[in-house]
Chains A and B, each alone.
Chain A
């Protein structure tokens, strides 16, 4: 039914539809026509989502690793190509991006009242940047999208943010830029090592290229010391984005000051770029560097899990609480990834999606009540479940998803991560489990303080429950949380092949074991 998508450069279409939409808004629509702009931009996001859905049906989990490939020459003189393609990991992230795109556009209708034209232009540009990051198979192209997307995000925080928006916006931009320029040096080192060599290392003599797949091929041949340095350079770039402890300080500022839709995109998609970077680049290209720095990575992940949870517990502001919970949750993702086995990676990647869904939803929910009362302080509320039963129900479901209650998505992800971590080193899983308990504690405590007890604050008397538009954008997230919680199989199915590929690249023992025992990947991993 969707065969037609093989006939068109579908990935480019998905990436540039928002850009085209932005250009139409810039040149074709008057700022006074805010209603029209709002509907048009949301329509573009919806269209983009609808075009991306067929990917899910046409993607063959057993097929080629990277599908829907597009390839064209871009800057031949230095070996830069325009290469697009997605594997199962990118597929999930692309769908998450387009879905959260529509949702965040819808949620902006009531939240954004000023300078709407610029707002929707920046949101659309942001979509293009994020989609390009997940699809690029050329490191140069990847970097271009990676940087391009900083600019609209900067404006989203800086123009429509809260009271300290200027500070938060510049902090976000500077932090991520410092990370990415160091990453750039790592990319250049790979580029030259693959070709003519650098710094006294004799290169491999291949034609100059930024092809990510080519870098995957040469991963095992890069000398250890060089791997160590490149890993470190990548680490700074990705860790700031994730953000890993101690690079996380920009996150609460950015989140608290960003408008709701900005927070949804920031938590839902932008943070995933960091973890995606580790999965796509650091692990397969730099296996030796990964192993050498593994203790540090895991230590920072574990600290992040516990620290994020403890700080979240101390927050009085709901949005800040959710922001710090992200630090903790992303620590989980990193723990799963750095378990360096199939279970850990599967869980880590699925948890990226889960976090996007549940934290996205949490930010939306906080936004809903903020629009009604213009405060996010937990102490201002209490007992509002009687006034907003529907809101309380949705909030409860998402809270449960976030803390990992079985039948909901968080459980599947966290459990798989813990299995992976346990297989690598048992006490990593133990620390992780403590983090889950803490997570349950702060989420439930917040829920209790906001929704239960007597309704003491008279200003909450007239709170209105969710309206239809709000339900419309929250429902897909709730449904997806249940879907992944009850029937995660299709998700793991698309992840199987890419995860196997990455574990083979990073773990030579696993690759050897799989070679002798084909079709028994999971068992050999358990046996190790």
Chain B
């Protein structure tokens, strides 16, 4: 047992702080009537902001390297993800405020679950060992299962939570089994050790390693909702309360990609070709199926669910490029994607007046007249998801395609561009309703819920800025890539 210096725990301060704050919030909600929704929102936001400051502070202060006997790593890559995930969580908190208030349940419970999920995500970003990665993934997943079932008395919410839990547990099991096979072959769970041991082990026991990788990858593909491991997504996204859906589609997906890229890039370069072909196939099928299925949806949340599946396919395209360009394209794209997705879901949340309303396309009819600003922002999000300039979605996508073309995966890129052109059709479905259809109700409606509107506005502005001046963030993403072997 190696000695773990106390200093390592100091560098874990942000994560420890976040978890403690989450638990305090949980505790507070069992005392009396608990915190109100607004107070809990503010508390969570302050916690997240403080955590972000600490994360940056630790990154500046600590020497980059492994902590806790190789379980955890501090590097630029982890820093980028941590900040991105904190941003995603913070926006989710704001999106949830009004919803939690109206739901009538204890506010503290909801936000404390968000904070523990965020802790899991931060730990995922820094995981350097399959075991620590798996444990932090489970922390995030368990919190998410409960969040998905937050409407205790709604059958759909219960169903979503149960489905998510059962399929999630199954995939975690598969992933864990894959990890144990890799451990058997490589003799270690550390990513770097696995990478070192793989070439030799691949000669003696190719089947074990192949199977181990496959099971690990299936687990990861499940978490990012890639076809054919996506079946849970639409039902869960529709059934879960919309802020939770937003969190799953944005934060949870981004965090899963953080570990997927780290595992694929640091532990497995030894079997580069095999995994690239399979990943390419998964990416292609994901883009095709995600987009085709989204075409036929009549429910906006379901459409966004399939669209998030399709976007996982685009991101996988950058992953399989196995290059610096591919990697920073993934980092940049997920930032843009998180902002766009949260903005789009924010609009859905704003339109919801009862627990599940605002979900059909028809609910958007004539929105351009009732709330021109909101409609314009939703238009921006839809265009950004399609990949029309000048939005962050366009630049993100173009870099992903570029990485795939550069790495020689042209056929995947061709499928990517064609399916993303196709996606225009269903994204415009909402635009058609907002701008081209009239509704009986044309009275302009003032936008209540200022915080929510501000969050949507922030996402819209960021989406636009990422499109107009992507330079600084491209630099940041470029500086945050993992070194290639």
Contacts and interface: CB of A to CB of B under 8 A. Distances in A.
Interface of A: 74-78, 118, 143-144, 147-148, 150-151, 154-155, 158-159, 165-166, 169-170, 173-174, 177-178, 181-182, 184-185, 188-189, 191-192, 196, 198-200
A78 B475 CA distance: 10
Given A147-B389, A196-B406, A181 B421 contact: yes
A77 B328 CA distance: 11
A78 B471 CA distance: 9
B224 to A, nearest CB: 23
Q: Which of A78, A158, A165 has the most CB of B within 10 A?
A: A78
Contacts of B475: 77
Contact of A181 (B420, B432, B474): B420
Ranked 9 nearest A-B pairs via Cβ: A181-B417, A144-B389, A178-B421, A177-B421, A77-B474, A188-B405, A75-B471, A158-B436, A181-B421
Interface of B: 368, 383, 386, 388-390, 394, 398-399, 401-402, 405-406, 408, 410, 413-414, 417-418, 420-422, 424-425, 428, 432, 435-436, 470-471, 474-475, 478
* B interface secondary structure, majority: helix
Given A181-B418, A182-B417, A192-B405, 20 more contacts: A74-B471, A75-B471, A78-B474, A144-B389, A147-B388, A147-B389, A147-B394, A148-B389, A158-B432, A158-B436, A166-B432, A169-B436, A170-B432, A173-B428, A174-B425, A177-B424, A178-B421, A181-B420, A198-B406, A199-B410
A170 B388 CA distance: 15
18 contacts: A74-B471, A77-B478, A143-B389, A144-B389, A151-B383, A158-B432, A159-B436, A166-B432, A177-B386, A177-B421, A178-B421, A181-B418, A182-B417, A188-B405, A192-B402, A192-B405, A198-B406, A200-B408
Nearest to B398: A184
A170 B428 contact: yes
A147 B421 CA distance: 12
A148 B383 CA distance: 10
A451 to B, nearest CB: 36
A178 B418 contact: yes
A158 B438 CA distance: 13
Given A155-B435, A158-B432, A166-B432, A185 B471 contact: no
Most chain A CB within 10 A, of B368, B383, B398, B475, is at B398
A77 B424 CA distance: 29
A196 B408 CA distance: 12
A346 B340 CA distance: 46
Contacts of B398: 184, 188
A185 B408 contact: no
Nearest to A184: B417
Contacts of A192: 402, 405-406
A184 B421 CA distance: 12
Nearest to B401: A188
A77 B324 CA distance: 13
B401 A185 contact: yes
A195 B481 CA distance: 21
Given A159-B435, A174-B421, A185 B388 contact: no
Which of A166, A174, A177 has most B Cβ within 10 Å? A177
A201 B390 CA distance: 32
Contacts of B435: 118, 155, 158-159
B471 A77 contact: yes
Contacts of A196: 406
Contacts of B405: 185, 188-189, 192, 198
A328 B383 CA distance: 33
B414 A185 contact: yes
Contacts of B471: 74-77
A151 B368 CA distance: 15
B406 to A, nearest CB: 5
Nearest to A146: B389
Nearest to B369: A115
A495 to B, nearest CB: 30
